[in-house]
Structure 1
Amino acid sequence: MLKMLDRCHKLQSLTIQICNHHYELYDGERWKDPPNVPDCLSSQLRICCLTGYEGGKVQLPFAKYILQNSKVLNTMTIKCSNIVDMNAKQKMLMELTSFKRGSETCKLLFD
């Protein structure tokens, strides 16, 4: 993912379909913020959509990273997986809204 972001300097819209059935392969992994923010995040990305979202130790930190480092982000849309219950959704929404955003105009749409 980071290699792709580093190479797409003019990326303005990013949609990621999360395939959760492959997640058990990466059970021991966690998202690690890279030392440098890709140019597209700091100056170009305006729309980001994560679908199939379930939170967790990779997805939540990745969403936080996008929110905090995208300086011109207008809209961050997060669409939860169908298996996420209402209580878990509420907890995820509270966590996501607590993060500081790199863009003061960013709207967080959560479903």
Structure 2
Amino acid sequence: MFNNLTHLNVDLGYCMFTDEAVMNILQKTPKLEVLNIPMGFDPETCLDGEHWILNSVPSCFKYSLKLFSISHFRGVEAEIQLLKFLLENATVLAEIRIFCSKILSADLKKQAEISNQLQPVGLGSCVIKFT
């Protein structure tokens, strides 16, 4: 258990572990407030958004996770599914920061489409910021 861990950076750049390993770590961080994926992830080789759906949501999602950020976001379905999972299950989540890939940052229409997909999912109090 990592009872005092409040900030976690998860580098999924080369994906040397599975989504189950990440979720196992998250299950052991009951006070996690900030989850950051600074290098983004490749959904073809790594975290498939559908696999984030678990029978048991980590307690940090329910009680303490306030900020989630992801970099190199391309707007592919697996990434969107991950955000939907967070919005549905992270009840105290205040902010999602999305640092877009170069292609997505130039496509404001696609960003608006993604934002529209996410709005009805959340509890309403979470701010989603595209950067």
Q: Same fold (TM over 0.5)?
A: yes
Q: Distance in 1 between matches of 2:49 and 2:94?
A: 27
- Give aligned pairs, total: 107
- Greater helix share, 1 or 2? 1
Question: Residue 83 of structure 1 aligns to a residue in which SS?
Answer: helix
For 1:10, the equivalent position in structure 2 comes to 31
Instruction: State which of 100, 107, 112 in structure 2 corresponds to 1:90.
Output: 112
Residue 86 of structure 1, CA deviation: 2.4
For 2:15, the equivalent position in structure 1 comes to none
Distance change >3 Å, CA 39–CA 23, structure 1 → 2: closer
Q: Is the 8 A contact 1:31 1:57 kept in 2?
A: no
Instruction: State which of 52, 58, 73 in structure 2 corresponds to 1:53.
Output: 73
TM-score (norm 2): 0.70
Identity score, percent: 23
Residue 18 of structure 1, CA deviation: 4.1
Question: Residue 129 of structure 2 aligns to a residue in which SS?
Answer: strand
Q: Distance in 1 between matches of 2:49 and 2:38?
A: 18
User: Where do 5+ consecutive residues of structure 2 fail to align?
Assistant: 1-21
Matched, 1:100 2:119: no
The one-letter code of the counterpart of 1:41 is F
Larger relative contact order (CA 8 Å, sep ≥ 6): 1
The one-letter code of the counterpart of 1:87 is K
Matched, 1:72 2:74: no
Aligned-pair Cα RMSD in Å: 2.1
